[in-house]
A and B are shown apart, each in its own frame.
Chain A
Amino acid sequence: MAVMINVPETAAPGEVVEVKIIISHPMETGFRTGSDGKLVPRNIIHELTCRYMGQEVFRAELHPAVAANPFFSFFVTAQESGEVELSWVDEAGETVTETRPIEVG
């Protein structure tokens, strides 16, 4: 599963930084039929969370109307050096966790 995450490598204490993530995912709605005429089972990422300094800083719930390859952008206040941890789970049961370091100082 290809994914692109952009967390600034460095930030000043108290700086508001933008976190961007785009995930390669079909976001199959469950309403489409395949070439065999049967419904393709629904498989969407239904939850994405971001943790920083051991604390949840962002959470999104996704629904079938969200397009394929979802993109998120949100802001986090940089306080101390550490890892920004992003994880998401889809309905095929696949859980992915990615971390990116951020240096504050």
Chain B
Amino acid sequence: MAGQVERAEGGAAPRLRPPRDICRKARWSGAVVAAVLAGAAGAQDGRVSTYEQMAPELRAMQDDDFSNPGLLWAQTGEELWAEPSGADEVACAECHGAAEEMAGVAAHYPDWDEESGQAVDLAARINLCRQRHQGAEPLERGSEALLALTTLVALQSRGQPIAPSEAPQMEAVRGQGEALYSTRMGQLNLACATCHDDLAGGRLLAAEIPQAHPTGYPQYRLEWQEMGDLDRRLRNCMVGVRAEPFAAGSQEFVALEAYLKARAVGMEMEAPAIRP
């Protein structure tokens, strides 16, 4: 478990693995190759955000802040940010200042929390902050309020490269995530890697199989008609392969996110993204 890893103080910075499937990218379908040739951001190494696979209408919806519904959540987040909360009657803004001060923060989550000795994602960090500094109850995972605050913080890193945490303990967490990513599960006995590495760019019925880079979370999916976090998306896939999903906010999901973020290192943050 990640919590038992010894701290390697002053040790070498964690090595972030490049995507293990770069050599396979050459075999990708024409659609992805076309997107890459079209000058997709960060496409030199074959990695491509799902944004590049979307229809022009959906890309336009994401690009215009007046048509991107994710910004509605950010707006609610702004209100919550300024509102005194919990027994201590203190607002996020009183310690952190304006939300803009959080620029770049979301780009390196999940990160290590010394106090609890475990890896936490951005939503869990917000909840820890509520408990420790506001004397407030943690918000329910996936709730409107937690999504609103997470969206607001993630929005401040839009356009910045994903820069995974350099905490030495995170290396073991990423290892755990990579193991989960390649573990076959469910009645269909598929691993994440089966589709998102080996078959990315192919089709699952009408949908193009994405490379699974978590660049835009929390994101607004048209199928959900609301914002959702990465946990929800991962549960979606787990239910799809008929596996028992991990619990929301569980260490398994944090580990998977940590691995996916390292796999997407350097790619541009797009939260709040639109996805079909």
Residues on A lying within 8 angstroms of B by beta carbon are 2-4, 6, 20, 22, 24, 26-27, 67-69, 71, 73
A26 to B226, CA, bound (A): 9
Other contacts beyond A2-B72, A4-B75, A20-B66: 7, CB < 8 A: A4-B66, A4-B71, A20-B67, A22-B71, A24-B72, A26-B225, A27-B225
Which of B67, B71, B222 is the one whose CB lies under 8 Å from A73? B67
**Smallest CB separation, B82 vs chain A (Å):** 14
A69-B225 contact, Cβ under 8 Å, with A4-B66, A6-B66: yes
Closest to A24 in B: B72
A-chain residues with CB within 8 Å of residue B226 when the two chains form the complex: 68-69
**Smallest CB separation, A1 vs chain B (Å):** 9
Which 8 residue pairs are nearest across A and B when measured between Cβ atoms?
A68-B225, A2-B72, A6-B66, A69-B69, A24-B72, A20-B66, A2-B75, A2-B76
A22-B72 contact, Cβ under 8 Å, with A6-B66, A71-B67, A73-B67: yes
B-chain residues with CB within 8 Å of residue A6 when the two chains form the complex: 66
**Smallest CB separation, B111 vs chain A (Å):** 29
B-chain residues with CB within 8 Å of residue A71 when the two chains form the complex: 67, 69
A22, B67: Cβ atoms under 8 Å?
yes
A22 to B65, CA, bound (A): 10
**Smallest CB separation, A19 vs chain B (Å):** 10
Q: Which of B69, B75, B76, B226 has the most CB of A within 10 A?
A: B69
**A–B Cβ pairs within 8 angstroms, 23 of them:** A2-B72, A2-B73, A2-B75, A4-B65, A4-B71, A4-B72, A4-B75, A6-B66, A20-B67, A22-B66, A22-B69, A24-B69, A24-B72, A24-B76, A27-B225, A67-B222, A67-B225, A68-B225, A68-B226, A69-B69, A69-B226, A71-B67, A73-B67
